[in-house]
Amino acid sequence: MSWIVERLLIDKNNIRSYQALESDTFGKLIFLEKKIKELYDSGYLSDKEMEVIKLMSDGYSVTEIAQLLSKSRLTISNTFKNACNRISFHLGDIYTDHGFLNELQDNYNLTDIEIEKVKNRMNSKYRHVIKNNRSDL
């Protein structure tokens, strides 16, 4: 339900570093960050969810976060996924998997086969695999 929310958060540093300020992806990230802050301030997201979201968006892996917070990898992964699902549900539209796929199909004239490939990637068991791009490790 929330692949695009997850990707924007996980790729935050790369988006901020390499995307032009007027890019659609950068705009989506800025909007998402603003809405996450609003959701947290309203009590919709917990302190635990915000801590995991922040660490994930700062480039830490699930394993690193689990060690930092003394939790299991499964707990961290589930916390992140569930928080992203709740954010996606709240925002709707292109921040849901269905809305994102519709946007891709409309903007890039993708075929049904190409959309299926995207769906398969979005539903892959490796959807949370993060490349470590931090220079401080």
CA 57/CA 97 separation, integer angstroms: 19
Q: Which of 56, 61, 117 is nearest to 84 (CA)?
A: 56
Amino acid, single-letter form, for residue 114: E
CA 103/CA 110 separation, integer angstroms: 10
| Whether residue 23 has pLDDT greater than 90 | no
Per-residue pLDDT, 10: 94
**Tens digit of each residue's pLDDT (9 = 90 or more) over 57-101:** 999 999 999 999 999 999 999 999 999 999 999 999 999 999 999
Q: Residue ranges per domain, the chain?
A: 3-122
Lookup: tokens for 10: 């996980």
Residue 129 banded pLDDT, cuts 50, 70, 90: low
